Amino acid sequence: MNIIRKILSTLAVTVLFTAVAQAQISEGTVKVFTVKGNVSLIDIETKKAEPLRRGMEFSAGKMVSTGENSTALLLFSNGAAVNVSEKSTVSVDQFIQAKFDPQLGSYLRLTEDPSQSKTELYVEEGTIAGQVKRLQNGSQYDVNTPNASAGIRGTDYVVTVVISGGQLSTVITNASGDVVAVAQGNPIGLSPGESVTITANRVVDPNTGTVTYDVTDIGTPGPATADEIQTANDAVDQINDATVAPVPSVPTATPGTEGETPVLDIDPGINVSPAGG
């Protein structure tokens, strides 16, 4: 995680702690609902990697990386869900949450953020499609990329990062709900069904080797492409299929296997417990 991302994360934590001054703040939990193919879970600091398996859970400071023809569906304890497409890398830079009532049920059954929370994801490359339940006042959900960010409040969205040679493009799509893209500090409101593309050139510091991206073009919001809408719809369908799955009285989480086909008719014991509890 670079210095800028650390500073932004620290500021975000400070803001949330102020907003919920008397509440107990803990690390939120991310649970793995399905895994298909070759997917790794990587510690951002140590770079240690292990296979991502169905039923695993983790907190901020981890990165999920998918190979070709490989995907993962992640569930967050604030009710959000993220589908990571093939050949994609996404980090959970921040995920903190105030404690909440464990009787609210499974993550999938939540209809809104059960308590104030702060979520910050970072898409290095590839595509994620997500669904965010209605957030509490004071909650925040952001998706960052090397050259842009998206602020999301209760919606279905898609964020794609494409790297080609010395150029990087971020495409942010609002499939439904409320999304605001930000590039070079400029907010770009997206109506449902709209997307925007932000393009940047890769710059390498000759002295330190540090890589940055200089924005060269901020597109005008317009109708999302059929592929962008289909990606969002496919992710929502997977999440909805999981939502109607029966919840067993006894947890049934078992490790997946490499190449496993997603099984969406079983909830692997994914029940809400108080954040950090």
Segment 158-170 mean pLDDT: 95
Alpha helices in the chain (DSSP H): 3-19, 226-243
Segment 226-253 mean pLDDT: 68
Secondary structure of residue 157 in the 3-state scheme = strand
> Which pLDDT belongs to residue 268?
36
> Which pLDDT belongs to residue 247?
43
CA distances from 138 to 81, 135, 142, 164 (A): 20, 8, 13, 38
pLDDT at residue 273 above 50? Answer: no
- The predicted-structure confidence for 241-267, as pLDDT tens digits, reads as follows 776 554 433 333 333 344 443 332 223
Phi and psi angles of residue 141, each rounded to the nearest 5 degrees, phi first:
-140, 115
Give this prediction's pTM: 0.80
DSSP 8-state secondary structure symbol assigned to residue 13: H
Q: Which domains, from first to last, does the chain contain? A: 3-243 (2.60.120.1440)
Percent of the chain surpassing pLDDT 70: 76
> Which pLDDT belongs to residue 121?
98
Q: Count of residues for the chain?
A: 277
> Which pLDDT belongs to residue 153?
85
Q: What is the mean pLDDT of the chain?
A: 82
> Which pLDDT belongs to residue 267?
35
> Which pLDDT belongs to residue 243?
62
